[in-house]
Amino acid sequence: MLSPKKYYTVAIASILVIISLVILSLNLKRPGETGFFRKLIMEIAAPVEWGVNSVIEGVSNTWKRYIFLFNLEEENRALRKKVDALTNEINTNREVYLESVRLKELLALNEGQDSPAIAARVIGRENSSVFKTILINKGSTDGLRSGMPVIAVQGVVGRVTETSWHSSRVLLLTDYNSNIDAVIQDSRYRGILQGGGVMGCTLKYVERTEELKAGDLIVTSGIGGIFPKGIPLGTVVNVEKTSIGLFQKVDVLPAVALQKIEEVSVIIIDR
């Protein structure tokens, strides 16, 4: 004889079988309709499926954006390298062009001189408080000797003081040891242009009675056998007449921007 517990189990199993048969029969009778339990499963599964699809789609989009940005960064890096290369090429070409312009001007200057001249490039500078010199890349093998005048397109640079086989040192007209016989272009009054270091130059031995003004051009006198006549030395920037003494103080700005020169011309003179 069956126990009450076993009856209970059998009853439950029977009820489940009957429910299953009813659901099956309903589905068979109305094949076009969705069953209750299927609807329930769909209601539960739909949000889950939507969430999973959203996550998958989000990951996929993120990956696509990463790949796009990575490729874009690579492209930008390549473009930046190309721009840098082109910029360097432009700068190089511009330097070559500017140098060719300066050399043409220097060549024209040399052709205008009565004496032969040699173009040289500045390869070194000494700008101490005492000495103002430059080093050029031509020397005794090129025919240079101590004492030869050195000029630029704008005017006088200085004179050669010492040479080696392939280089020479040039004493600038602003050096304290530089003294050049000069003349005021308009009045033709003579003086000595002396180097003043960072202050430029000073025109010495100009009497107080001589009338000078800022802007007057000072040129070489041609006396002394070094510098040819009429080459610009500088421009008067200040004139001071003291109450005592015979001479006035005349400050002169060099015609050549000595800190910027890159090429010079050495005039070959026979001595």
What percentage of the chain has pLDDT greater than the value 70?
71
Give the chain's domain count. 2
Residue type for 238, please? N
CATH code (residue 192): 2.40.10.340
pLDDT at 270 over 60: yes
Residues 102 and 181 in one domain: no
Contact 144, 168 (CB under 8 A): yes
Instruction: Judge if pTM exceeds 0.85.
Output: no
pLDDT per residue as tens digits for the range 194-213: 998 888 899 999 988 888 88
**Domain check: are 130 and 261 in the same one?**
yes
How many CB atoms within 10 Å of residue 142? 17
Residues 123 and 244 in one domain: yes
Task: Determine, yes or no, domain membership for 158.
Answer: yes
Span 163-182, pLDDT tens digits = 999 999 999 999 999 999 99
**Would residue 22 count as lying in a domain?**
no
Q: Between 166 and 242, where is the model more confident? A: 166
12 located within any domain: no
Name the residue range of residue 236's domain. 116-271
Do residues 133 and 107 both lie within one domain? no
Same domain for 228 and 162 = yes
What is the average pLDDT across 8-31? Answer: 55
What average pLDDT score do residues 29-33 get? 52
> Residue 181 falls within a domain, yes or no?
yes
The answer to whether residue 25 is domain-embedded is: no
Query: Which of 216, 95, 97, 230 has the alpha carbon at shortest distance from 151?
Result: 230
Residue 29 lies in a domain: no
The answer to the question of residue 19 being in a domain is no
In a domain, 28, yes or no: no
> How many angstroms separate the Cα of 203 from the Cα of each of 188, 222, 247?
13, 16, 10
**Both structure tokens of 27:** 């589905």
